[in-house]
Chain A
């Protein structure tokens, strides 16, 4: 099913529930190409569920999600290639080195993370000396930085980021904001959640989720 050709991510009549509690009911959402969207709301209002539903991990109770005019499950949408979803779980294997972890995810996308590319992003994040260490040996902050490297290494067109600013020092926060703005400027779509306001990040759209109501503010 093809909607009128429009770039970006669109949700039509989305209903999501979790443990028999309705979180969102018949909501239309629009994330245009080149925009950054900030999802906010108290704990338990369904920010993560909404992200997982948009990514296709959580089945929708009703409605559908369109990517560049095609339903996300449609092969023409190329959604799995275009989507980069960083969840709260970092999804890195403790037994593998940082290089191995990052190279695997690039390879799964059919891309190659070259040594030099790895080094340059690791340099920017100050983890270049840790590349051959096992993931388990790093501190929580460093582990988080490693997962952020994926944003730089993998070519995607849609970033869905669950609390990307948590655990980061000020320098890395700035790095991440600038990456997000650069990505949006090149036509990418960013959707992220955060409890704090991020200084210096230009946000195009804010969506607030509230308890037990189906109202979404734009």
Chain B
């Protein structure tokens, strides 16, 4: 049942590939703007890179939420899904598909941005351990699923309300703060040659915690949205 739902979500996302790509471009564009707006100086860019990339990832996730929830709500398909499958399963299928189609591409495209933001500037060449790109990718890999999980609650609660876009942002952004802090702190710590395992561990813990609770909460919220 779960895989039937997931297959459908992925198929719909593939048919809407243009809409799926927009958040990804948004992510890249936002980061690209910073060197233009502030300073192209490498040392400076390196300093702000973790924060900028993480904030952009967070906003891109927020931007893509609507795609996976709104159309099913407005054409009545959500009702049918909830009649035939358990709400938690419906929610989990949507969250997994959402991450696969929008979260994972952010992780994959992040090396490009690492180069652009001079993340590896001044580091000894050729020493693999000094390369910051894998750490950036790892922090995004652990952090973006949590963004999708938490965002799912927000969008589901706001489906029935009009003017939902802003509402979701206001509801969800405060919840994103811990992920933002530990996500960018991972890279900052690594840049300063400090240990970053603790930050990664906390990102992982947040992910597991959200994975355990949010599909259920999202399911209930979807159920309320259609009633």
Contacts and interface: CB of A to CB of B under 8 A. Distances in A.
B5 interface: yes
A83 B15 contact: no
B213 interface: no
Given A89-B79, A90-B76, A108-B1, A96 B226 contact: no
Interface in B1-58: 1, 4-5, 8, 11-12, 15-16
A89 B76 contact: yes
A109 B84 contact: yes
Q: Which of B16, B75, B80, B82 lies at the interface centre, i.e. has the most chain A CB atoms within 10 A of its CB?
A: B80
Contacts of B16: 95
Given A57-B226, A58-B227, A59-B227, A96 B12 contact: yes
Contact of A57 (B1, B12, B71, B83): B83
B138 interface: no
A80 B84 contact: yes
A85 interface: yes
Contacts of B82: 57
Chain A interface category by residue count: 20 to 34
Nearest to B13: A95
A58 B12 CA distance: 27
B153 to A, nearest CB: 20
Contact of A85 (B4, B15, B83, B85): B83
B81 interface: yes
Contacts of A80: 83-85
A100 interface: yes
Interface residues of B, number: 21
Contact of B11 (A88, A100, A105): A100
B77 interface: yes
A50 to B, nearest CB: 14
A91 interface: yes
A63 to B, nearest CB: 16
A55 B75 contact: no
A84 to B, nearest CB: 9
Interface string A48-63: 0000100111110000
Given A108-B84, A108-B85, A110-B1, A91 B75 contact: yes
Interface of B: 1, 4-5, 8, 11-12, 15-16, 71, 75-77, 79-85, 226-227
14 contacts: A57-B79, A85-B80, A87-B79, A89-B76, A90-B75, A90-B76, A91-B75, A91-B77, A96-B12, A96-B15, A100-B11, A104-B8, A105-B80, A107-B4
Of all A-B residue pairs in the complex, the 6 with the closest CB atoms, nearest first, are: A89-B76, A95-B15, A91-B76, A91-B77, A91-B80, A108-B84
Given A87-B80, A95-B12, 11 more contacts: A55-B83, A59-B227, A85-B80, A85-B83, A87-B76, A91-B75, A91-B80, A93-B12, A95-B16, A100-B11, A108-B81
